[in-house]
Amino acid sequence: QVQLVESGGGLVQAGGSLRLSCAASGRTFSVATMGWFRQALGKEREFVAGASRGTNSTRYAESVKGRFTASRDNAKNTVYLLMNSLKPEDTAVYSCAADVHCCTIGVRPAEYEYWGQGTQVTVSS
């Protein structure tokens, strides 16, 4: 089992920045990829970004490319999502997820086995 706990959400004005953190515990050695997803009210959960342990690569949704940066600190079993130039349409509950299967960064929620509880990000105009 892997436990994930997100932090860092909140309310920010458009154009501002936030950094989300996701701390993993338990069988963290089994985690190959960490992903960030978001779900806005009334919408389906969507992929935001991901970071692979093995290949040290990242992947981003087109809507956040150039504004968001995913990184991971393997020594701390923590992943981060730095969000710059935030827009009102970025408002959502953001969740981190862990995939134990190497080595691609999946974009479908079904590819991830473990999930955090989520943290609210609200961007005001």
Instruction: Please enumerate in sequence order all residues whose Cβ is within 8 A of that of 120, keeping only pairs 6 or more positions apart, or say none.
Output: 9, 10, 92, 93, 94
Residue 30 has pLDDT above 90, yes or no: no
Residue 31 has pLDDT above 90, yes or no: no
pLDDT digits (tens, 9 = 90+) for 82-109: 999 999 999 999 999 999 987 789 999 9
Mean pLDDT of 6-32: 93
In angstroms, what is the C-alpha Rg of the chain? 13
**Per-residue model confidence (pLDDT) at position 32:** 86
- Give dist(CA 105, CA 93) in Å, integer: 21
Of the pLDDT bands very low, low, confident and very high (cuts 50, 70, 90), residue 29 is confident
DSSP per residue over 89-111, as a string? GG-EEEEEEEE-S-S----SGGG
pLDDT digits (tens, 9 = 90+) for 38-60: 999 999 999 999 998 777 799 99
Residue 1 has pLDDT above 80, yes or no: yes
